[in-house]
Amino acid sequence: MSTKPTTTDLQWTELDQRAVDTARILAADAVQKVGNGHPGTAMSLAPAAYTLFQKVMRHDPADADWTGRDRFVLSAGHSSLTLYTQLYLAGFGLELDDLKSFRTWGSKTPGHPEYGHTTGVETTTGPLGQGVANAVGMAMAARYERGLFDPEAAPGTSPFDHFIFAIAGDGCLQEGISGEASSMAGHQKLGNLVLLWDDNHISIEGDTETAVSEDTAKRYEAYGWHVQRVEPQENGDLDPAALYAAIEAAKAVTDKPSFIAMRSIIAWPAPNAQNTEAAHGSALGDDEVAATKRVLGFDPEKTFEVADEVLAHARKALDRGREAKAEWEKGFAAWRTANPERAAEFDRIAATELPAGWEEKLPVFETGKGVATRAASGKVLQALGAVIPELWGGSADLAGSNNTTIDKTSSFLPADNPLPEADPYGRTIHFGIREHSMAAEMNGITLHGNTRVYGGTFLVFSDYMRNAVRLSALMHLPVTYVWTHDSIGLGEDGPTHQPVEHLASLRAIPGLNIVRPADANETAIAWREILRRYTKVFGKGNPHGLALTRQGVPTYEANEDTTKGAYVLFEAEGSDGQSAEPEVILLATGSEVHVAVEAREQLQAAGTPTRVVSVPCVEWFDEQDQGYRDSVLPPSVKARVAVEAGIGLTWHRFVGDAGRIVSLEHFGASADGKVLFQEFGFTAENVANVAKESIAAAQR
């Protein structure tokens, strides 16, 4: 049996200790049953997780989405049983059979926690370090939410005050994304964030001395965090009382995020497997599991043993949660009475509804005028910012280039920041040159709820963000990425900054919608459609990436069919100037649409009826019924040319065997954008000639 905590500050009984040890043997049994998984960390972290879920956090297991709850993020997602055992014990809806079906088809307990799949899981974790950045984003969102609804309340008195708790391992803190996010959290002085580090000195390759030698606690001090270290008990086990005291001390520090280093022994108290790398990612083996059960006072012949009195004791979390929620609701009701207008705003935002008349604020751009779509996007954001207070965001230090400043007078920064526009509840986020953590923080902001976030950088730097973007899609999160400088058209910065493979690569991510508007009016309509598509229903939201031009492009008449992903921008005409059946169809996106339009003019002048189809979003087009898709791309028209200044991977299925693609199958070069378009064939003349090739191929 494990040793009791060494102080009396925490109410801790034999049943509490038995519940912790039960979590340990459940983790060992679950991995042993399926034959694979990560038992060691779940065993050693059981005291920390139990202390959080049973003694610290404000939550209601019967209402896992309660607005006033504290949030918990398991950044070390491989140790999913750390979370699953606590969700089971506390009564979030998991039962013993769910633990028995760990890592099997259709279970509620997949190998890594999945948002929307298992009640009580706040975010999908697995790629290490992502959860740290998610937690930072949640803490940012909590502060912004407070600013929306209750900015004048004294600290700790608002119904919108709550904490974000996260557990990270050595792997999380070695990943660069956690360093980016932790730097941001320290700079923002997020006093509502508590990060617990499982300092067990073990990774897959053995002792962490193989790869790490810095003083991690000192590193977090340098980031501006409040740092504590919790030493284990004499037997090597985590000390819940010492941990509880450290957490309470962390909660009392309101002007810094808190970092708690917990020295643990992986797989404690397994007699032979503890403190070994094998315990990280492999089943312990029947003999070692039985030996561990003997150490803890369990029957080695039984599996998934949970005493009735232990479960009944742990399930009292339901009663405490009900009481905590009822107490919170009293304060929330008082706030509603005192703030009727803000309460109405809260109800609207919580229902994911947009303000009445918001669409009327969208700008309409004059036709013919050359406007960069990044500039059009900036005008849209500034127009909507005045009427949609929950909309906020920024850039990875490229706001002037991305046009992502929603309010120049209001920066999301601590009150004591020296900048004159600093506001702890500000609209414009300065993410810094931290693209990867920016994307993961945006995920956390969206997961927290009650705000709508966007973030910008150059399209080529989406490479830095990719894993977090993938998780946006995996979790169906309606975040918006603003990616500008979307082609070789940016010119002199050269191939390091010119995206070539990125559009096709990003379109390959399931559930991510890439929108590349042709002009300013398509940009405004795209923003409107993206905001309309926001939904809080699990599995229905999608992230969007806006790919926007640096260079000016001609502006066409606004067309509502932009929302369908592809539409006829210019119809084919016969010699009489009337609509005619197209002999060839030119498909294009973004800055190449005007090239296709100019090519059409040449083809029409030569007597070739030519249709131009703008394709701002392939994914939206794929959603349309077959009838609409055939009306835009009639199957009878085999001659087709797709034009996009990137690799042509996207377009083969649209152009068919007789079709042709004007694409860029190599990197760019350093020169003026117009020169590059000329040199690489993105000209009306070349597109017209390629169209003639396609017509000839279709006639064979």
Q: Tell me the one-letter amino acid at 528.
A: R
Better-scored residue on pLDDT, 206 or 258: 258
* CA gap 466, 17 in Å, rounded: 42
Q: Report the DSSP pairing between strands 258-263 and 391-395.
A: unpaired
Q: Residue 507 has what pLDDT? A: 98
At 9 the pLDDT is 79
Q: Does residue 115 carry a pLDDT above 60?
A: yes
Q: In the predicted model, what is the mean pLDDT of residues 497-511? A: 98
pLDDT exceeds 50 at position 538: no
* Sequence-separated (6 or more) residues with CB below 8 Å from residue 256: 186, 189, 190, 191, 224, 225, 226
Compute the distance between CA of residue 67 and CA of residue 64 in angstroms, rounded to an integer: 9
SS3 207: strand
- What per-residue confidence (pLDDT) applies to 204? 87
Between residues 619 and 9, the one the model is more confident about: 619
Contact 79, 45 (CB under 8 A): yes
Region 297-308 average pLDDT: 98
Report pLDDT digits (tens) over 420-469.
999 999 999 999 999 999 999 999 999 999 999 999 999 999 999 999 99
How many angstroms separate the CA atoms of 393 and 365, rounded?
24
Query: Residue 579 in contact with residue 515, Cβ under 8 Å?
Result: no
Distance, in Å, from the CA atom of 582 to the CA atom of 571, rounded to the nearest integer, reads 8
Confidence (pTM)? 0.97
Cα-flanking dihedrals φ and ψ of residue 526, to 5°? -65, -45
Instruction: Determine the pLDDT at residue 606.
Output: 97
Q: How far apart are CA 213 and CA 227, in angstroms?
A: 18
C-beta neighbour count of 229 within 10 angstroms = 14
313-354 pLDDT, tens digit each: 999 999 999 999 999 999 999 999 999 999 999 999 999 999
What pLDDT, in 10s, does the model give residues 187-206?
999 999 999 999 999 888 98
Residues shown for the chain:
700
**pLDDT category of residue 534 using cuts at 50, 70 and 90:** confident
Distance, in Å, from the CA atom of 410 to the CA atom of 383, rounded to the nearest integer, reads 15
Name the H helices within 393-499.
399-402, 435-448, 462-474
pLDDT of 566 strictly over 60: yes
pLDDT class of 540 with cuts at 50, 70, 90: low
Say if residues 341 and 324 touch (Cβ distance below 8 Å): no
Q: Percent of the chain scored above 70 by pLDDT?
A: 98
User: What value does the mean pLDDT take over residues 46-55?
Assistant: 98
- Tell me: pLDDT of 8 over 90: no
Crossing angle of the two packed helices 14-34 and 286-296, in degrees rounded to 10: 180
Band the pLDDT of 541: cuts 50, 70, 90. confident
Residue 539 pLDDT exceeds 90: no
CA distance linking residue 542 with residue 557, whole number of Å: 28
* Element (DSSP H or E) covering residue 386: none
Compute the half-sphere exposure of residue 603: CA atoms within 13 Å on the CB side of its CA. Answer: 33
Average pLDDT over residues 233-258: 97
What pLDDT score was predicted for residue 210? 92
Residue 636 CB-density burial (10 A; 0-12 exposed, 13-18 middle, 19+ buried): exposed
What percent of the chain is modeled with pLDDT above 90? 95
3-17, 276-290, 490-504, 605-619 — which is least confidently predicted? 3-17
The per-residue pLDDT for 128 is: 97
CA distance 291 to 299: 10
Residue 537: per-residue pLDDT = 47
Question: pLDDT grade, residue 536 (50/70/90)?
Answer: low
Whether 679 is catalytic is no
From the list 114, 435, 529, 583, the catalytic residue is 435
User: What are 140-167's pLDDT values in tens digits?
Assistant: 999 999 999 999 999 999 999 999 999 9
The per-residue pLDDT for range 73-93, each reduced to its tens digit, is 999 999 999 999 999 999 999
Per-residue pLDDT for 2 more than 70? Answer: no
